[in-house]
Amino acid sequence: MLPGGVFNTRYDSDLAILRTRTHWVLLAVALVVVFTVPLFADDYWLGILIDMGIAIVAVLGLHILSGLCGLISIAQAAFVGVGAYTVAILTTQLGLNSWLCLPISALSAGLVGLFFGLPCFRLKGFYLVISTLAAHFVIIWCFEHFDSFTGGFRGLHLDPLSLGPIDLRSRSAFYLLTTAVVVLAAFLGKNIQRTAAGRAFVAIRDNELAAEVSGIPVFRYKMLAFFIGCLFAGVAGWLWAYFQRSVAPSHFQLIDSIWYIGMLIVGGWGTTTGVFFGAISLSFLDVLLKDYINPALVKSLPPDWAGQISVSTGLILFGGIIIAFMILEPRGLYYRWEKLKSYYRLHPYSHIPVPVKEDEEKEGEMDDSLG
Amino acid sequence: MAVVSVVAAIAVGCLVLFLRLPVDDRDQAMQAIVDGIMKGGVYALVALGVVVVYKSSKVFNLAHGAILMLLAYFTWWLLAPTDLPLWTALIIVGATSVVIGLVIDRLMMRPMIGQSGLTTFILTMVLGFSVVQGIAVLLFGGDPRPMPSIFPSGRLTVGSITVQYPWLSAFIAAAAMFLVFVTYFRYTRGGLAMRAVSEDPVVSQSLGIAVKRIFAIAWVVGCLSAAAGGLLLCSMNPVHQDLGNFAIIRALPVVLLGGIESIPGAFIGALIIGVAEMLAITYIDPHVTGFSMLLPFILIVVVLIIRPHGLFGLREIRRI
């Protein structure tokens, strides 16, 4: 619902993402703040923010694939790995320019995604999830066993990235690059949702048979969703490879894919804003856990438990949070945020229930027709 | 019909090839097949837990492997450091798995009744791969531990084939438990109620079947079979924190191949997967390192693409 006194008087203002002047000002302020973070944050926080940015790019891809098109993939971490390995192999073995590798690694992840998306011709629901699970292990197996390209279990090391004379080795420079990519990816992700293809994705998610009889070529759009989702993963992999400057099979684990899905669930299924909510909240929770909760636990429990605590508390806490969201608030933080906004806008009369617009109600919900 | 004739043709072809092999090679192949059948029996028991839960509540339990690993660690802890007698330990493990089953059913599955299969699938996935895995690592560390031997050691030699006693005992135990479950599902009122609930929970409820209790029983049976599967798997391998992934990854092709609703299908599927794995270890691994690790996934994808409802499962009909 709109705040009091704001009316959409023309169709294009109804369709616009940024409808009012306040929106534009807020966006400008947010961009300025985000791009000036290196002035007042130290390297530790910049590292966390870079990690978060890379996760956001990967989850935006997963959002298009799973949130919009309803094809849940738990191989996203492996597709990120495909992007990272592509750039590592091309620069170290063939000596290609690292910026030229950016589109190549996005494309290669996309093509691998297309290949492993082929089963969706026949499969839906959790059968498809199982086939992406298999895809994850097949991709990781290839990383481990094609030693001559991928360096086996040890992986590969990359040279630092530079843009002409500018060295992007420092955290702050790399942070700016990551942020630029995140902003671009968010812009694309939000707008793909608003194209004909995006509406076709949503139609397929909501009812596949109905979409098919309405003339949407379902299989072609599903493949397109796989391709776009994995393009984002490839770009995230490129960033990842240059952030860590080494790639190894152990960096891309199944649990990372589960966290990506978890970010979608916590943030809100099927909304771009939800991707940001999920990624930011889980990343900061991770910092809280590593810096405050784990040391406290290590201090209060017997000393021989220390090694186990650092490995396991994250698994238990994040898994518990994702499960709690699935049971208690399947629409995620995005829905809570919308409710908060309408509460504020209605302020003295907040207790009166407002009928929610139908398409808004649908958004952010894992629909029954998925299964 | 076409599928049956293709399978028959492949089987006859394999038999002809097998009989034309030199004697040494034939012995090696026989050995691999027998070992595969032994392994397959244990895989069947692991897969059974997944099938039981799916048959009654239409929840594909991806947490089964992790629960199995947790219970295997618990059994190891009771037997090795605590040094309890075997029967006491088994009773405690059984009671624990009943409690785990009830807790999962009450806290996580009951609020999700009526949700789509995909939602509960993701829930059990998160539960298994992160929460249960984390709890197991937190309580028992992640190091590999050898399980104290439960079955007599030694080996049985018939002609040129040798079978280790632990494997044979594990196979017999698994097959016996499997028979018990099949009998329960086919011939008792409780089993009939479970099949009715899986068909249509709402109608079953209105006919007077306690649907929630059936779900709880299914989860308890699932966890008990996880405990048994963990015990038997660990008579072959040490307990390890990757045991959960290992188990669920072997159970997936078994369940998919056999047909997700079919208990006899799970057994036949498990034997096929076990034999295929042993044959891959014997013949392909020397040429392609680690191929047997990849085999389950290739089988998963192939089965899913060719016959998604498995050999004995029910074909799903979709309507708008």
Instruction: Give CA–CA dist A252/A259, Å, rounded.
Output: 12
Contact B60 A370 (CB under 8 A): no
Residue B61 located in a structural domain: yes
Residue B18 located in a structural domain: no
Residue A368 pLDDT: 42
Residue A58, C-beta contacts closer than 8 angstroms, at least 6 positions apart: A76, A77, A80, A232, A233, A236, A260
Contact by Cβ (8 Å): A249, A78: no
Residue B4 located in a structural domain: no
Closest Cβ opposite residue A134 in set B118, B245, B297: B297
Residue B6 located in a structural domain: no
Residue A82 pLDDT: 94
Residue A365 pLDDT: 46
The answer, yes or no, to whether residue B279 has pLDDT greater than 50, is yes
Contact A319 B60 (CB under 8 A): no
CB < 8 Å to B129, chain A: 254-255, 258, 319
CB < 8 Å to A309, chain B: 138
Does residue A261 belong to the interface with chain B, where contact is any CB pair within 8 Å?
yes
CB < 8 Å to A308, chain B: 137-138, 141-142
Residue B16 located in a structural domain: no
**Maximal C-alpha separation, chain B:** 64
Closest Cβ opposite residue B138 in set A127, A308, A319: A308
Give the CATH number for residue B134: 1.10.3470
Closest Cβ opposite residue A131 in set B60, B138, B300: B300
A267-296: per-residue pLDDT in tens? 988 889 999 999 999 999 999 998 888 888
Amino acid making up residue B91? I
Residue A316 pLDDT: 92
* Helical residues (DSSP H) of A289-331, grouped into ranges: 294-300, 306-328
A50-70: per-residue pLDDT in tens? 999 999 999 999 999 998 998
CB < 8 Å to B131, chain A: 315-316, 319-320, 323
> What pTM does this model have?
0.89
Residue A364 — pLDDT band, cuts 50, 70, 90? Answer: very low
Q: How many domains does chain B have?
A: 1
Residue A338 pLDDT: 87
Contact A125 B289 (CB under 8 A): no
Instruction: Give CA–CA dist A104/A166, Å, rounded.
Output: 22
Residue B1 pLDDT: 57
Residue of A nearest to B298 (CA): A134
Residue B10 located in a structural domain: no
Nearest residue to B252 (alpha-carbon basis) of A126, A128, A130:
A130
- Which residue(s) pair with A364 in the sheet? A269
Residue of B nearest to A314 (CA): B134
Q: Is the alpha carbon torsion for A119, A122, A125, A126 positive or negative?
A: negative
Closest Cβ opposite residue B60 in set A74, A126, A145: A126
Instruction: Give CA–CA dist A31/A6, Å, rounded.
Output: 24
Tokens of A71: 């094809």
CB < 8 Å to A127, chain B: 256, 304, 308
Would you mind telling me the total number of residues written for chain B in this entry?
Answer: 320
Q: What is the DSSP letter of B281?
A: I
Residue B177 pLDDT: 84
Closest Cβ opposite residue A308 in set B141, B319, B320: B141
ipTM of the complex: 0.87
Instruction: Give CA–CA dist B135/A312, Å, rounded.
Output: 7
Residue B300 located in a structural domain: yes
Residue A371 pLDDT: 35
A216-242: per-residue pLDDT in tens? 999 999 999 999 999 999 999 999 999
Tokens of A240: 């990842």
B233-253: per-residue pLDDT in tens? 887 788 888 888 888 888 888
B113-162: per-residue pLDDT in tens? 878 778 889 999 999 999 999 999 888 887 888 888 777 777 777 777 78
Residue B141's domain comprises 30-151+161-306
Residue B21 located in a structural domain: no
For domain A41-370, the CATH architecture is Orthogonal Bundle (1.10)
Contact B297 A314 (CB under 8 A): no
The answer, yes or no, to whether residue B308 has pLDDT greater than 50, is yes
